[in-house]
């Protein structure tokens, strides 16, 4: 008999995907070039040439039995060592291969991290706005997701809300910086204070409360480097994906890095090997483990995201929006012009603008624009955006 | 606090892996060429040239943003359609793309299949001898694994044992044909009778009891084609991996195929999409989805496995072993020369023979040889094997 729980989930469609599907359908009518599709966070720039070269070289010059053979349960030691070395060099950490576990992207890393430190019935706390997949990720591990309300003044996490949410059943706090959807990087000050609070709570409740840091957007930073959370708190599991930095989301390659000073640091990776057996994960691709190890210091040309951000931020300000300037990612998260962001985004569709209401990120009244699209299209979208806010909301526009 | 359950699993090492590690260590002492390592089921022949060519062609001629981009939640429609077409042509089925879900190998397929049809607290029944990973796979889905005892006369599943094991909490029966470790293919007669029994039990207990058919060795068949279980029973989920047929186990690519006549056939694949969210699976590699779709009618040169099997089978018979001739796979499963197969395999180590005791497959008193190794080494191993059985068990050897 098919499982009722998953059957029932079929009703609940992702809002982001629904809007993306609307964009595709509308594109079929009027030409996709004329739909200003800010719905999906799918990288729009190609992978670096070094990644393609690495794949081709591996296919040409490695014995195929080795290249495509099973990788060890704990993933390839030389790849894990290379990741550790790169993180140490960049962030002043002291990882060894023993602390790195290669995964199927950040989703795979999070699936392992949550099971490493949480047991069914416990809870994990995150801060709005948050990536909506955190809910199925947490629930898939048997954990309840608790969400601290957004601090819309600056989109730093509301640490004052933490005390009411953390209790004896809290396994971990889950953060995402730079943040999807706000684009804001959690500041060093924020992270230091978060670490203090987690250390205190761990003391109070008599067990280590872990920090799970989801960092797929780490390399898309628009100014000063994004603070590295594991520097601030020993019990940190860092979850990374090469999806955005190398523009390879379909190849499902990332890693989990356990802070060498976390509880039972040397057991985390062996535990991941056990967790994989139950979830059917069993290592990411051997080819792509090897390929990313050769590109650890490379990224796609990510400059388009900053160009787009600067343009959109300036235009949103000109149109009178309240909006926080992103520190990174390819998202921006302005306040809608009416309290109901769903209504706002629905009305925008009439102007062929695909915007995603903030409700799905736990932050009603705001909306997300994913600007991983061509700059030329960003520019063209401004006329539609201006017409939308003028006609629907009577906004008085300052001259350009 | 790190999760105790996984921490405790760290003690329980895989017997197969322990013996494999012994082989590696022993190889470091005397040269790996001199260790007759029959421990691991790792393909020893390269992937077909068509697979490498497909990968290289895709890397050269496909837009990298498309090639490496996210594939849809339910995996690539054109790949799913190609798999359906190939299965229909070969096995007279009537799959469409809607019934195929691409997965991270058979492990990924099984993880989805078990969650599709079972809910925590239920049980799944399998037949000894069985692949030991079935236990963590089932338990990872919250299901208890019940094991029917082996029928050592011919290693067909003991269907008479089924009645005592199936009850109102049985979600599925899990089979593996051709079988790891016995090498035996379940016969058409067996499958027809199994289908009758499952239909009757479904009637009795008022819910569909599914058949989950794990078929990674389907293409390694030594004689007549291996019967395709889904032909015999409507409520069948077929789990396949290209690991063995294309010699690409490290790339983690396979599929789940839902019989179009199974319960809620059109919901199985959408449910898999939901299940993935909770387990961190999120589609196999986009490159490899596309590559296998171009190689559906190809295999590696698998003839070495038959060559090895014929040699080993004849030698085992000559040495007086009781052994069933394999129909496929790259395993053979003879009876040990003493009741304690662990002791038998331990003694074999003194002769540099790495054999795996059957206890780990739920079949004490037998041992597995994985003959995915060079034929030359198979031949060389016979002197050691003969010396072992003569010196340890006083076996009188017939002349060659």
Q: Which residues from chain B sit within 8 angstroms of residue A137, using beta carbons?
A: 277-278, 280
Q: How confident is the model at residue B5 (pLDDT cuts 50, 70, 90)?
A: confident
Same structural domain, A258 and A342: no
Arithmetic mean of pLDDT, A186-213? 98
pLDDT tens, position by position, A370-382: 999 999 999 999 9
Arithmetic mean of pLDDT, B353-366? 97
The verdict on a CB contact (< 8 Å) between A136 and B278 is yes
Whether residue A398 is contained in a domain is answered as: no
Same structural domain, A220 and A312: no
Task: Using CB atoms, pick whichever of B112, B263, B275 lies closest to residue A1.
Answer: B263
The verdict on a CB contact (< 8 Å) between A1 and B171 is yes
Same structural domain, B281 and B343: no
Quick one: pLDDT at residue A399?
A: 65
Same structural domain, A180 and A203: yes
**Angle at CA of residue A309, ends A182 and B73, nearest 5°:** 60
Arithmetic mean of pLDDT, A239-256? 98
Q: How confident is the model at residue B391 (pLDDT cuts 50, 70, 90)?
A: very high
Arithmetic mean of pLDDT, A227-251? 98
Closest approach of chain B CAs to the CA of A252, in angstroms?
A: 6
The verdict on a CB contact (< 8 Å) between A250 and B287 is yes
C-alpha to C-alpha distance for A153 and A174, rounded to whole angstroms: 21
Is A67 in the B-facing interface, judged by CB distances under 8 Å?
yes
The verdict on a CB contact (< 8 Å) between B280 and A110 is yes
pLDDT tens, position by position, A286-324: 999 999 999 999 999 999 999 999 999 999 999 999 999
Same structural domain, A98 and A135: yes
Quick one: pLDDT at residue B400?
A: 58
Q: How confident is the model at residue B12 (pLDDT cuts 50, 70, 90)?
A: low
* Choice between A11 and A198, residue whose per-residue pLDDT is larger: A198
Domain termination residue (choose one: A293, A327, A352)? A293
Q: Which residue of A has its CA nearest to B110?
A: A280
* CATH for A178: 3.40.640.10
Structure tokens at A120: 């069914």
Asked if A249 contacts A43 with a C-beta cutoff of 8 angstroms, the reply is yes
What one-character DSSP code corresponds to residue A223? S
Q: Which residues from chain B sit within 8 angstroms of residue A267, using beta carbons?
A: 2, 7, 10
Is B52 in the A-facing interface, judged by CB distances under 8 Å?
yes
Domain count, chain B: 2
C-alpha to C-alpha distance for A228 and A87, rounded to whole angstroms: 10
Same structural domain, B32 and B66: no
Q: Which residues from chain B sit within 8 angstroms of residue A9, using beta carbons?
A: 271, 274
Task: Using CB atoms, pick whichever of B63, B110, B117 lies closest to residue A1.
Answer: B117
Whether residue A399 is contained in a domain is answered as: no
Is A61 in the B-facing interface, judged by CB distances under 8 Å?
no
- Please give the share of chain A, as a percent, with pLDDT higher than 70: 98
Query: E strand or H helix at A144, and its extent?
Result: strand A144-148
Task: Using CB atoms, pick whichever of A52, A110, A116 lies closest to residue B2.
Answer: A116
Q: How confident is the model at residue B205 (pLDDT cuts 50, 70, 90)?
A: very high
Same structural domain, B53 and B41: no
Same structural domain, A236 and A339: no
Quick one: pLDDT at residue B399?
A: 65
Q: How confident is the model at residue A5 (pLDDT cuts 50, 70, 90)?
A: confident
Task: Using CB atoms, pick whichever of B112, B115, B207 lies closest to residue A1.
Answer: B207
pLDDT tens, position by position, A91-116: 999 999 999 999 999 999 999 999 99
Whether residue A310 is contained in a domain is answered as: yes
Is B37 in the A-facing interface, judged by CB distances under 8 Å?
no
What phi and psi values does residue A203 have, to the nearest 5 degrees?
A: -60, -50
pLDDT tens, position by position, B125-179: 999 999 999 999 999 999 999 999 999 999 999 999 999 999 999 999 999 999 9
Residue B279, C-beta contacts closer than 8 angstroms, at least 6 positions apart: A111, A140, A279, A280, A281, B111, B115
Quick one: pLDDT at residue A356?
A: 97
Whether residue B399 is contained in a domain is answered as: no
What phi and psi values does residue B89 have, to the nearest 5 degrees?
A: -65, -40
pLDDT, averaged across chain A: 95
Domain termination residue (choose one: B267, B293, B319)? B293
Whether residue B67 is contained in a domain is answered as: yes
Residue A3 has pLDDT above 90, yes or no: no
Domain termination residue (choose one: B243, B266, B293)? B293
* CATH for B313: 3.90.1150.10
Quick one: pLDDT at residue B190?
A: 98
Residue A396 has pLDDT above 70, yes or no: yes
Count of H helices and E strands in chain B?
A: 14, 12
Is A274 in the B-facing interface, judged by CB distances under 8 Å?
yes
Task: Using CB atoms, pick whichever of B45, B56, B275 lies closest to residue A6.
Answer: B275
Whether residue B398 is contained in a domain is answered as: no
Q: How confident is the model at residue B8 (pLDDT cuts 50, 70, 90)?
A: confident
Quick one: pLDDT at residue B225?
A: 87
Give the helix, strand, coil percentages of chain B, each rounded to 5: 45, 15, 40
The verdict on a CB contact (< 8 Å) between B280 and A285 is no
Q: How confident is the model at residue B76 (pLDDT cuts 50, 70, 90)?
A: very high
Whether residue B326 is contained in a domain is answered as: yes
Same structural domain, A53 and A172: yes
Same structural domain, A192 and A267: yes
User: What is the ipTM, given to two decimal places?
Assistant: 0.95
Give the B window 189-228 contacts with A, CB below 8 Å.
207-210
Q: How confident is the model at residue B11 (pLDDT cuts 50, 70, 90)?
A: low
Whether residue A400 is contained in a domain is answered as: no
Quick one: pLDDT at residue A397?
A: 82
Quick one: pLDDT at residue A21?
A: 87
Give the A window 108-167 contacts with B, CB below 8 Å.
108-112, 115-119, 133, 136-137, 139-141
Same structural domain, B22 and B61: no
Structure tokens at A141: 């591990």
Same structural domain, B139 and B284: yes
The verdict on a CB contact (< 8 Å) between B288 and A285 is yes
Quick one: pLDDT at residue B53?
A: 98
Q: How confident is the model at residue B101 (pLDDT cuts 50, 70, 90)?
A: very high
Quick one: pLDDT at residue A282?
A: 81
Q: How confident is the model at residue B14 (pLDDT cuts 50, 70, 90)?
A: confident
Cis peptide, bond prior to residue B181, ω within 30 of zero: yes
Q: What's the N-to-C CA distance of chain B in angstroms?
A: 62
From the CB of residue A145, how many other CB atoms can be counted at a distance below 10 Å?
A: 18
Closest approach of chain B CAs to the CA of A318, in angstroms?
A: 33
Domain hosting B80: range is 49-293
Arithmetic mean of pLDDT, B286-296? 98
The verdict on a CB contact (< 8 Å) between A250 and B42 is no
pLDDT tens, position by position, A314-364: 999 999 999 999 999 999 999 999 999 999 999 999 999 999 999 999 999
Closest approach of chain B CAs to the CA of A275, in angstroms?
A: 7
The verdict on a CB contact (< 8 Å) between B274 and A45 is no
From the CB of residue A174, how many other CB atoms can be counted at a distance below 10 Å?
A: 28
């Amino acid at each position: 008999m098919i499982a009722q729980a998953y059957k029932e989930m079929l009703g609940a469609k992702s809002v982001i995907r629904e809007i993306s599907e609307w964009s595709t359908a509308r594109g079929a009518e009027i030409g996709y070039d004329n739909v200003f599709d800010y719905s999906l966070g799918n990288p729009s720039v190609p992978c670096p040439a070094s990644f393609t070269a690495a794949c081709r070289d591996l296919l040409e010059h490695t014995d195929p039995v080795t290249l495509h053979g099973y990788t060890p349960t704990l993933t390839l030691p030389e790849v894990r060592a290379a990741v550790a070395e790169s993180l140490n060099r960049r962030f002043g950490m002291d990882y060894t291969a023993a602390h790195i576990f290669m995964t199927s992207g950040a989703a795979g890393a999070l699936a392992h991290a949550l099971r490493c430190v949480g047991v069914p019935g416990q809870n994990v706390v995150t801060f709005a706005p948050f990536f909506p997949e955190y809910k199925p990720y947490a629930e898939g591990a048997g954990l309840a997701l608790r969400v601290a309300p957004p601090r819309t003044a600056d989109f730093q996490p509301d640490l004052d809300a933490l005390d009411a949410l953390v209790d004896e059943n809290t396994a971990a706090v889950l953060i995402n910086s730079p943040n999807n959807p706000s684009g804001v990087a959690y500041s060093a000050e924020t992270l230091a204070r978060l670490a203090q609070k987690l250390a205190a709570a761990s003391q109070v409740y008599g067990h280590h409360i872990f920090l799970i840091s989801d960092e797929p957007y780490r390399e898309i930073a628009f100014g000063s480097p994004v603070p590295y959370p594991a520097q601030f708190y020993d019990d940190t599991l860092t979850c990374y994906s090469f999806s955005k930095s190398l523009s390879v989301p379909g190849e499902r390659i990332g890693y989990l890095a356990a802070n060498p000073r976390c509880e039972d640091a040397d057991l985390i990776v062996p535990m991941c090997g056990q967790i994989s057996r139950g979830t059917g994960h069993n290592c990411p691709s051997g080819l792509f483990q090897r390929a990313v190890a050769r590109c650890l210091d490379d990224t796609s040309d990510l400059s388009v995201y900053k160009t787009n951000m600067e343009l959109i931020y300036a235009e949103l300000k000109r149109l009178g929006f309240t909006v926080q300037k992103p520190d990174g990612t390819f998202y921006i998260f302005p306040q809608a012009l009416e309290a109901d962001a769903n209504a706002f985004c629905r009305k925008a569709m009439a102007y062929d603008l695909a915007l995603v209401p903030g409700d799905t990120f736990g932050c009603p009244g705001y909306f997300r624009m994913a600007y991983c699209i061509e700059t030329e299209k960003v520019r063209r979208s401004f006329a539609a955006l201006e017409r939308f806010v003028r006609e629907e909301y009577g906004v008085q526009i300052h001259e350009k």
